[in-house]
Structure 1
Amino acid sequence: MTDTLQVRTKICGLTRAEDVQCAVAAGADAIGLVFYAPSPRAVSVQKAQALLAVVTPFVQVAGLFVNATVSEIQQVLSQVALDILQLHGDETSAQCAEIGRATGRRWIKALAVKPDSNMPELIEQYVTAGASGILLDTWHPQLKGGTGQTFDWNSWPQAIGQAVPLILAGGLNPDNVADAIAQTRPYAVDVSGGVESQKGIKDHHLIRKFMQGVQRG
C-alpha cells in the first residue's frame, strides 16, 4: 500500500495553539487531541475548540479516547468537529463498531504489540468491524500510549500492511523515524513524546526535524 504513497504524519497530544500552527506549517497531515483525563496531554472541550480554530483546511483532526462510552464521545463531538476517532483503550471490535455506527465517524484502533499476541488475527477482527486503519503502539502494563519506547519493528506485519492502512507509533523521534519508515513501510507515523520539551508541550525544532526525517524515510 505504501510503495507508491507518501507516508502520512500525525502529531498527537497537542495542547497549545502555537504547537498546532507549527505542526501544520511543518507539513503534518493530521493532529491529535487527547480526550482522556488521566493523560498529561488531555484537553478540555473548550481548549479543543480553541485549537481547532487555528487548524487550516485539509488537515485532519483526530480525537483520542480511552475506553470512553458512546455518550461520552458524542458529547465531545457535539462541540468539537473531529474528523476521525482514535480508540486507544481496551475497546472490543464490537464496541468500536457500535461507536462508529452511533457517531457516524471513521475510526482507527490502537493495538499494543505484545510479544505473545497474534497481531494478524487482532488486526483482522478490527478491520472486519470497520476500522479505517490500525495503529500499532508499544505495549506497557499501565500506560495507554505515550511510553516513549519502541517495539520490535521486526514484528511489523508487512503482508497485512499491503492491504490495511497501518500506522506506526511508539517511541518515534527525529533521530529514528527515517529508519523506522524504511524498515516497516507504514501508511503513516504517529508521534507525541518524541517531539516534546515536556509532556504536552511540543518543541518546534523537534517537530520540524521529525518531519524532515519522515521525508528522508
Structure 2
Amino acid sequence: MADPVVVKICGIKTTSILDAAIDAGADMVGFMHFTRSPRHVSIEDLATLIGEARGRVQTCVVLVNPDNSCVAEVAALGPDWIQLHGPESPHRVEAIRAEAGVEIMKAVPIGSAEDIGHVGQFTDVADRILLDAKPPKGADRPGGLGRSFDWNLLKALDPSIAFMLSGGLTPDNVADAIQLVRPFGVDVSSGVESAPGVKDKRLVEAFIRNARAQ
C-alpha cells in the first residue's frame, strides 16, 4: 500500500471553511498573506485561523517574495509551514528557512521542459516542493490562476524528488492527476470555489473524497 496522498486546501479565509476542510479530512490548510490575492488574509485574521487550526491540522501561510519583517511577523504566529510562492532564489529560500525556524515549502512554476530543470535547485533548501502552473504572461500575481500545466512534462523530473501538485486541480480531475503524476500531495485553491476567494464547502468535501479514493 502506498502512503495516502497529502491533501492541502489553500486560500482559506473563514473559520467555517477551515472547520469544513478539517472535518472532511484535509491534512494541511493554507492561508494567503498577499494583498493582491482575492484570498488575502490579514495578520490579525491569520492569528485567529492558525489558532483555531492548531492541533487539528497542519497550517501553511503563503507568502510572495516577502521581506524579513514579513517573514518574522508570520513566523511569530506559529504556523507549521511557510510557503514561498514568488521568484525567490534558492539562496533566499535558504535564508528565509534559517530566519523563520519553520518548515518551508517552495512553489516552482512549471510551463515548459526548461522549468523542470530548475526544480532540483530547491530540493536542498526547502523542506517540500510544490509544482504549480506558470502564470500567464502579464499576470499580476503568481500561481496557475486556476489553470493546470502539461503533466507529461513531469516525466523528465528526477524520480527521487517528492513534490506536491497544484494548478488547475478540481474535484473532477484530482483522481486522474494522482494516478498519472503520482505526487506526494495535492494542493487546491480556486478549484473548490464558487467565486474568486469564496470556498464552497461541498466542493472542498468532494475534492478530498476524490483524492482519497486513490
TM-score w.r.t. the length of structure 2 is 0.93
Code of the residue aligned with 1:123 in structure 2: it is V
Residue equivalent to 1:104: 101
What is the distance in 2 between the residues matched to 1:39 and 1:172? 18
Residue equivalent to 1:81: 78
Q: Per-residue deviation at 1:164?
A: 2.6
What is the distance in 2 between the residues matched to 1:111 and 1:92? 11
Q: Per-residue deviation at 1:118?
A: 4.1
Q: Per-residue deviation at 1:126?
A: 0.7
What is the distance in 2 between the residues matched to 1:54 and 1:71? 24
**Secondary structure at 1:96 match in 2:** helix
Deviation per CA, 1:88-126: give whole Å up to 9, x if none: 00000000000001111211110111225241x312111
| 2:138 counterpart of 1:124 | no
Residue equivalent to 1:8: 6
1:133 to 128, 136, 143: 128
Residue equivalent to 2:111: 114
- Across the two proteins, how many residue pairs are aligned to each other? 211
Residue equivalent to 1:144: 142
**Secondary structure at 1:107 match in 2:** strand
Q: Assess if the C-alpha contact under 8 Å between 1:24 and 1:56 holds in 2.
A: no
2:38 to 18, 37, 40: 40
Residue equivalent to 1:211: 208
Q: Assess if the C-alpha contact under 8 Å between 2:165 and 2:186 holds in 1.
A: yes
What is the distance in 2 between the residues matched to 1:163 and 1:58? 30
Code of the residue aligned with 1:139 in structure 2: it is K
What is the distance in 1 between the residues matched to 2:144 and 2:92? 23
RMSD (CA atoms): 1.6
What is the distance in 1 between the residues matched to 2:105 and 2:128? 5
Residue equivalent to 2:164: 167
Q: Assess if the C-alpha contact under 8 Å between 1:8 and 1:187 holds in 2.
A: yes
Q: Assess if the C-alpha contact under 8 Å between 1:16 and 1:201 holds in 2.
A: no
Change in CA separation of 1:24 and 1:46 when aligned onto 2, cut-off 3 Å: same
TM-score w.r.t. the length of structure 1 is 0.92
Runs of 4+ in structure 1 displaced over 3 angstroms?
none
Change in CA separation of 1:116 and 1:123 when aligned onto 2, cut-off 3 Å: closer
Gaps of at least 5 residues in structure 1 are none
What is the distance in 1 between the residues matched to 2:111 and 2:147? 13
Change in CA separation of 1:34 and 1:144 when aligned onto 2, cut-off 3 Å: same
Code of the residue aligned with 1:105 in structure 2: it is V
What is the distance in 2 between the residues matched to 1:154 and 1:183? 9
2:194 to 176, 180, 197: 197
Change in CA separation of 1:146 and 1:51 when aligned onto 2, cut-off 3 Å: farther
